[in-house]
Structure 1
């Protein structure tokens, strides 16, 4: 059987993982006759070439893309502009394309998908979202007769690891240092801890789940850097854990998209997903609720998702057909604002009580008070009300607003209860 030649753009952590798995030649892979013949790298040294004696290394990525003997291009180099130019050329050359680049797919996925369809080739990107969890393939194949109404999950392993350590008693700085020491966080962790990485993944998920297109500006995003140990004590008191959630709620062509540290009920399965693991819950008409979980990052889990795409692409080439492209022509979405309960975190001078704040803002819910920290668990409100509260709190004498965190509720509704009038009965001293 004819060998299927693969060109690899990038030999970093994931690229090495792809090469390692292919070299194992498991029975399923051996029958496909896949071979990485060329790879583009940023720097080329004799030592590096010696590490991959069967692969011709080059610093000329375009030469790999234009090689007539290569049928499949795998891009794991990262970035947006250069990979976009290279993959456009690869698709125009009639090559099958696989990428693990979430930033690229979130930004230019529609353009690349349209170009792949025009040239009758495949574009696959399972590894771009949630590492080793086969979520995109699940969306492509398992919901043909079903309608997904909402999704929520943990899409960034770095943030989840940090919040897991904070729940165990670490400060944010201590948890971040641990994540960096273990290789989960970069020296500059901004994309992870500010929710940008998760936001790109959410754009891809909503495109495939709902056949709707949204923009980064449509996502209500906040990072985890303002969280403190007091937030976790308050969440625990109210019966929640704090998780770095992505969520998408749908009503017709409207989407409510959020990326934020979110309070999850302890009774919900997402609350038990810890450390660097990812998870996603899909709500649909027929299956009600489906949850997938697994490692969200790392060389081999992400590379394994690339290999799954390689296997599907190779089988398609052997059968002489091109896999159907998902999300070929998504419709534009408009904004949806679903009322949600919130947790307001404040620092106080000791003279202002939680009941003072609640009465002034018209909040109904519960109060947690510990030292100079106040946490108010509110009724379900829309974003306009949250903005009004935020503005009022920023002008409130005697308090300092830390953040306002959403409460996750699968049914999108919160229980409204009257405020306790005696704070001492429900306060907790750490």
Structure 2
């Protein structure tokens, strides 16, 4: 397997580090050698001087020796161009870009199908939680009924801090100082990031990506200290949940993200801090829970490398 990596930020660095440190183990499981043919980043990095480096991602896309492109840039405009050209060139695509797939997934998945190549995106949902592969592969005999989850660690951390007495402003400041929140936390606190993720979970469960404007989204910015205090008095907490459900009669799929009160009997009640949890309800397995840290360079890089295994050994997820 010969790969090109576009974007050497926190996750990209860890992908290269894990491949370097665990090469023998990874290659044994892959069943073949893995070579990082070329890496692309806006600025050069001295620690990667042994690799073929470029500022121009088009060099990776045009390299006939590269069979799999790992895109770790974020955003939409340039990653969309990269994704289209990767698939058109009949190369496989591994990405952590949930926004890209939630907005343009239908187009990209169809293109991958036409070109007979694969898109894998385990790192796009849940960070280090292996949720997409079980949903698509281990649980596939089920008729899925509902998926719900705490899908954003930043929002969950803020709500946890507020339940312990902090104001929204104090909790956000703390999350930012600890590196849990971006300088612009809009996607996290307004529920947009969670909506991207529930959209992808819905696609793997039912084969349909909803138009993003059809998802009802409500974030946590409207919650006050009084709301949190009132909930606590009733032994409840607010959790920002993404939910997807299908009507068994009409087969209509509905998606929503909003703060929901959960009581002590709810599985999500004790999911605190930056942790994520996802519940999948199937016709045969009942309710299955996946729990873990939803972010972090190491955890996300692990998910990216797990997709390299799937490129070689698994069927395409595209329908």
Q: For 2:293 and 2:23, how far apart are their aligned partners in 1?
A: 22
Is 1:224 matched with 2:220?
Answer: yes
Counterpart of 2:16?
19
The corresponding residue for 2:270 is 272
Report the alpha carbon displacement of residue 112 of structure 1 after superposing the two structures with TM: 1.4
- The whole-number CA distance in structure 2 between the counterparts of 1:215 and 1:238 is 37
Counterpart position of 2:186: 190
Deviations 1:24-83 (A, max 9, x none): 125431324212221111123xxx1x2112322211001111111211100001111211
**Larger helix proportion of the pair:** 2
Assess if the C-alpha contact under 8 Å between 1:37 and 1:54 holds in 2: no
Unaligned runs of 5+ in 2: none
Q: Which has the higher contact order (CA 8 A, sep 6+)?
A: 2
Q: Is the 8 A contact 2:117 2:316 kept in 1?
A: no
In 2, distance between residues paired with 1:130 and 1:275? 14
- Aligned-partner Cα distance in 2 for 1:297–1:194: 18
CA contact (8 A) 2:129 2:293 kept: yes
Aligned residues, how many? 314
In 2, the alpha carbon distance for the partners of 1:249 and 1:116 equals 27
The answer on whether the counterparts of 2:5 and 2:70 sit within 8 Å (CA) in structure 1 is yes
Q: Which residue in the other structure is 1:333 paired with?
A: none
1:110-149 matches, within 5 Å, as 110-149=106-145
The question of 1:261 aligning with 2:259 is answered yes
State the SS of the aligned residue for 1:257. Answer: strand
Alignment RMSD:
1.4
- Max Rg structure: 1
Within a 5 Å distance, the mapping from 1:11-410 to structure 2 comes to 11-25=8-22, 27-31=24-28, 32-44=32-44, 48=45, 50-252=46-248, 253-313=251-311, 315-316=312-313, 323-328=314-319
Unaligned runs of 5+ in 1: 317-322, 329-430
Q: Secondary structure at the match of 2:222?
A: coil
Once the two structures are superposed, residues 344-383 of structure 1 have per-residue CA deviations (whole angstroms, 9 ceiling, x without a partner) of: xxxxxxxxxxxxxxxxxxxxxxxxxxxxxxxxxxxxxxxx
Whether contact under 8 Å (1:6, 1:36) holds in the other structure is yes
TM-score (structure 2 length as normaliser): 0.95
Write out per-residue CA displacement over residues 292-312 of structure 1, whole angstroms, 9 at most, x where no aligned residue. 011111111111110100122
